[in-house]
Amino acid sequence: MNQSFNARRAGLLALNIVLGLVILAPFFWMVSVSLKPAAEPFAIPARLWPQDPTLDNYINAFRPEFRTYFVNSVIVSLLTVVITVSLALFAAYAFTRSQFRLLTVAMTLVIVAQMFPASAIIIPIYKLMRSADLLNTYTSLVLAYVTVTLPVAIWMLRGFMANLPLTLEEAAAIDGAGPLRTFIEIIVPLCRPGIVATSVFVLIVTWQEFLFALSFTSTKDMRTLPVGMNDFIGQYGIRYGELMASSVLISLPVIVIFFLLQRQFVAGLTAGAVKG
């Protein structure tokens, strides 16, 4: 029995290694190409790792425009995270605690709405933005991103709030706190791991979004990083080295943030609230 257990563990380990390789392979290729001199990506036979690694691509990628794109991306992403998560907190709390039956239906509709592909709704949204005179502004992007990320954010936070013991809200009511105060001083602090997880999710979605950003922005000074990468795709060719180098640069902040906050995801914060 012990032997079969070990065999199972070995099997699972092997499977995990294979899955890990599949997931990491594109990242490896991205880094590899970004370090290759301009001629090498298409050399045959292809090399896994460049013969003469060079940082030229990074130097080329890190142009003044890149800084503008970066600032734009940061502004749009942060606004989206703050607005989406704030709205989602209120909505999730209502969905979690309300006894109102129709809310269950509403909750399903929220997730159904999420299923429309962006490419199906982009034209109507574009027209809306145009008639509201919002094209080529941060507002248009933030509005679109909040709309797209809000449903999933509500679902994530609702799942988290549903696990908070009701006793805490009752204790707060007995202690004299009204609903808003209970929400801000008791519920929100206890949702911190959920808020962190949701924020990272919204950040990743927004940070890498391409379609809306491409459609709604028309001048270089409004572009975000993913659209900015387009600069390397020209009429007569694609500069893969610079493209991959910017991809690495764009991915880095998200990867760093993810690792920094990883520990927060562990939802250990409610320990000690109630006996158990």
Binding interface with another protein (CB under 8 A): 165, 167-168, 170-178, 181, 186, 189-190, 192, 269-276
10 Å Cβ neighbour count for 134? Answer: 17
Determine which helix (DSSP H) or strand (DSSP E) holds 238, and give its type and residue range: strand 237-238
Q: Which is nearer to another protein, 154 or 190 (CB)?
A: 190
Q: Which is nearer to another protein, 177 or 249 (CB)?
A: 177
Could you tell me the smallest distance in angstroms from the CB atom of residue 275 to another protein?
5
Question: How far from chain centre, in Å, is Cα 150?
Answer: 12
In terms of Cα–Cα distance, which of 31, 47, 27 is closest to 39? 47
Could you tell me the smallest distance in angstroms from the CB atom of residue 36 to another protein?
50
Q: Which is nearer to another protein, 187 or 213 (CB)?
A: 187
Could you tell me the smallest distance in angstroms from the CB atom of residue 83 to another protein?
24
CB 140 within 8 A of CB 130: no
Could you tell me the smallest distance in angstroms from the CB atom of residue 257 to another protein?
23
Could you tell me the smallest distance in angstroms from the CB atom of residue 181 to another protein?
7
Q: Which is nearer to another protein, 127 or 192 (CB)?
A: 192
Question: How far from chain centre, in Å, is Cα 72?
Answer: 16
Q: Which is nearer to another protein, 118 or 267 (CB)?
A: 267
What are the start-end ranges of the H helices in the chain?
Answer: 2-34, 56-61, 64-97, 102-113, 118-131, 138-161, 166-174, 179-182, 188-190, 192-207, 211-216, 225-228, 240-265
Could you tell me the smallest distance in angstroms from the CB atom of residue 268 to another protein?
8
Bridge partners of 194?
none
CB 76 within 8 A of CB 145: yes
Question: How far from chain centre, in Å, is Cα 87?
Answer: 17
Q: Which is nearer to another protein, 106 or 177 (CB)?
A: 177
Could you tell me the smallest distance in angstroms from the CB atom of residue 199 to another protein?
18
Q: Which is nearer to another protein, 238 or 273 (CB)?
A: 273
How far apart CA 157 and CA 159 sit, in angstroms, is 5
The SS3 call for residue 229 is helix
